[in-house]
Amino acid sequence: MNLKKGLPLIPGLFFIAITTFSQDNLLDSLPATKEGFVKTEPAVINTIDWFVNTPLNQEVNKRKELYGKFMAWLTNSPTVTIDIDEKTTPFAKKNPDLLFIFMGGWTKYSLQNNYSKDAVKCNVAGIRTAIKVYQMGNGIKKDKEMEKIIEIDSKNELDAWVASQLEEK
């Protein structure tokens, strides 16, 4: 390869790489049709990943904006339904952001598992997502309820615990 001929190509490729990787591809608008919702699912998953990977005490305004867009999407989604039970989400009292994280984990699981409506599996996915953010710290208040749930999960008993909580209705 002649290096001189390839040099003009390098800045162009660099620019494309930067613009491709710098775009967050996050949820930016509410679709109007079922097909539109399906098309936005990758952006919803990227938004959920952003919630999880961005510390709670950073980019607070962007987080609030994305929470609103995510909630609007979720409220109107024809494919994903969440049933929040306070017995499986006691951690939301002390750390309200974890409720959004929980809903994100549930939604991501549902979307990645053929629109699963399995209450136990979706709750477990949501709880494990909340646990991940809780353990990162960064704007989290210590919570005995969450510590108990983490202990249950560490014993591989989270599925059974969730099932028992949901049975107590």
* pLDDT of 16 over the 60 cut: no
* pLDDT of 8 over the 70 cut: no
Report the domain count for the chain: 1
Is residue 17 a part of any domain in this protein? no
Is residue 43 a part of any domain in this protein? yes
Is residue 15 a part of any domain in this protein? no
The parent domain of residue 103 ranges over 25-167
Instruction: For residues 34 and 25, give the distance between their C-alpha atoms in angstroms, rounded to a whole number.
Output: 20
Is residue 5 a part of any domain in this protein? no
Is residue 155 a part of any domain in this protein? yes
Higher pLDDT, 163 or 7: 163
Instruction: For residues 121 and 153, give the distance between their C-alpha atoms in angstroms, rounded to a whole number.
Output: 13
Higher pLDDT, 150 or 29: 150
Residue 102: both structure tokens together: 């929980």
Say if residues 115 and 153 touch (Cβ distance below 8 Å): no
Is residue 16 a part of any domain in this protein? no
* pLDDT of 18 over the 90 cut: no
Q: Which of the residue ranges 20-24, 38-42, 67-71, 83-87 would you say has the lowest mean pLDDT?
A: 20-24
Instruction: For residues 151 and 87, give the distance between their C-alpha atoms in angstroms, rounded to a whole number.
Output: 16
Is residue 34 a part of any domain in this protein? yes
Say if residues 153 and 127 touch (Cβ distance below 8 Å): yes
Is residue 102 a part of any domain in this protein? yes
